Structure 1
Amino acid sequence: MENMHETQFLVTPQGRRLAYHLTDGTAPAIVFLGGFKSDMAGTKAVFLEKWARDSGRAFLRFDYSGHGQSGGEFTDGAISDWFADACAAIGLLAGQVVLVGSSMGGWISLLVARQMPERIAGLVTIAAAPDFTEDSMWASFTDAQKAEVMAGQTALPSEYGAPYIITRRLIEDGRTQLVLREPLALPFPTRFLQGTADADVDMQVALRLLDHADGADMRLTLVDGADHRFSDDACLRLITQSVEDVLTAPS
């Protein structure tokens, strides 16, 4: 189900080469921000793109550096790099956008929203994982793993394929990008989606985010039995319904 359009590339202000697919249509454009070691060819991104095309809505999906078809090595990257990549990708678009952030993309989308709130027409997060390098990874590491990371890197098993290589830079850089430690204003329609059977992001993270953020129109939907992939037919429909919801919500 790859996009019929050719993959395009942009070079960020930092000199990184990013792959992206841009569908023309009405504004505000929908921007999909993927997860940690994920890519723009995933089920949710491609499904949303087809929905946007069918709706005549502008849509952008892209790969962070070190992910998918973009340049760079995954192990060279960190949250601040991928945040900068997202800002560069959004720079392709004029006017306001609706961000759809999945897992790590949820954290990235919150950073974007904090950096440029005037550009954001709405936000939808899917199993958002804000501050996961600190609150999930570092907090759960054994003393031996912490020592390994501080010496350079450690490997974490992944049910999605090869182990995740977690670098010292990823952990230390993550501490400079935390969003749950200081006020977080979301002054636009916001929908948080979370599965109750998510083994990667605990439901408590979604509840903490809802409690921590400040906005006049924020809602959290918990889906009983949904896992971290959040990509069965019912979950995909809920994502598009949530995007439609923020598009039509009073500003």
Structure 2
Amino acid sequence: MTEFLDGPQGRRIACNRLDGQGPCVVFLGGFRSDMQGTKAVWLEDWARARGRAFLRLDYSGHGESSGAFEDGCIGDWLADAQAVLDRVEGPVVLVGSSMGGWISLLLARAMPERLAGLVTIAAAPDFTEAGFWTGMDAGQREALLREGRVLRPSDYDEPYVITRRLIEDGRRHLVLDRPLALPFPVRFLQGTADADVPMSWALDLLEHAEGPDMRLALVKGADHRFSTPDCLEMIGAAVEEVLARG
């Protein structure tokens, strides 16, 4: 059952919470995704079958949470996730998909003592800079700075708005421009056929981050959704492994 929490600046954050054994597994979804996605729902079923505490949420402007998507930015969605985590007792294992991988890394940097482990799926740290800004031509960049927004085509839906605020706020939340300590079990999952997050980003993240128990699994042919039955089982196995080693 969906519940609503009062988040930062009056934003109402929707989440689904499952009581059970801790540490609580928290799923953080991707850019323009919501908590009804395949991975989020599958992982909740996985947790329920094992009596495991679990939580999934919608950032503001996503799913059932308040706000307009194009008004948001990485800092807002990080604050939303942090507000929800503040209501969870004890340690957590974060499972971050795509943008949720970036947000989980920011949370790990801000509150490492709360994390018992981390699993990322096609993590996209710094994508507003390394993906959106770098991928724009001079005319698009000029239009973004002048008008405050540009339209970006999507492989999944209608074109969507990229705002100047999203780009500029993203630069204030980069994680690959400074040391990144992950002092807990970490498992990075990445498909080789991902058209949105290049495999090189996963290798760069593995090389950049520091931690005593860190592994990257590459799945040949898996795309950005990473939602085939085999991929979903890999996610569950990675969470199990992190929980066992945490």
Would you call these one fold, judging by a TM-score over 0.5? yes
TM-fit CA distance, 1:92? 1.8
* RMSD (Å) for aligned C-alpha atoms: 0.6
**Which residue, 77, 86, 92 being the options, matches 1:91?**
86
Map of 1:155-234 to 2, 5 A cutoff?
Answer: 155-234=151-230
DSSP-derived class of the 1:95 partner: coil
CA deviation after TM superposition for structure 1 residue 164, in Å: 2.0
Deviation at 1:12, TM superposition (A): 1.0
Instruction: Kindly state the Cα deviation for residue 213 of structure 1 after the two structures are TM-superposed.
Output: 0.2
User: TM-score w.r.t. structure 1 length?
Assistant: 0.97
Shift of residue 105, structure 1, vs aligned partner: 0.2
User: Whole-Å Cα distance in 1 between the matches of residues 112 and 92 of structure 2?
Assistant: 10
For 1:67, give the aligned amino acid: H
User: AA paired with 1:125?
Assistant: T
Structure 1 runs, 4 residues or longer, greater than 6 Å off? none
The alignment partner of 1:160 has SS state of coil
Aligned to 2:36: 41
Amino-acid identity (%)? 64
TM-score, normalised relative to structure 2: 0.99
Q: Does 1:154 align with 2:179?
A: no
**Tell me, which stretches of 5 or more residues in structure 2 are unaligned?**
none
Check if 1:22 corresponds to 2:14. Answer: no
SS at match of 2:162: strand
Distance 1:48 1:143 in 2: 42
Q: Which amino acid aligns with 2:150?
A: T
One-letter code of the match for 1:167?
Answer: T
Structure 1 residue 149: deviation in Å?
Answer: 1.2
Residues 79-158 of structure 1 correspond to what in structure 2 (within 5 A)? 79-151=74-146, 152-158=148-154
- Distance in 2 (alpha carbons) for counterparts of 1:7 and 1:127: 26
Letter in 2 for 1:238: M
**Displacement of 1:137:** 0.7
Inter-partner Cα distance in structure 1 for 2:135 and 2:242:
35
Amino acid aligned to 2:201: V
1:161 and 1:46 map into 2 onto residues whose CA distance is 21
Instruction: Give how far 1:13 is off.
Output: 3.4
Match of 2:240 among 234, 237, 244: 244
AA matched with 1:204: S
Higher deviation after alignment, 85-94 or 206-215? 85-94
> How far off is 1:117 after superposition?
0.2
Amino acid paired to 1:29 = C
One-letter amino acid matched to 2:233:
R
Count, aligned residues: 245
SS in 2 for 1:185: coil
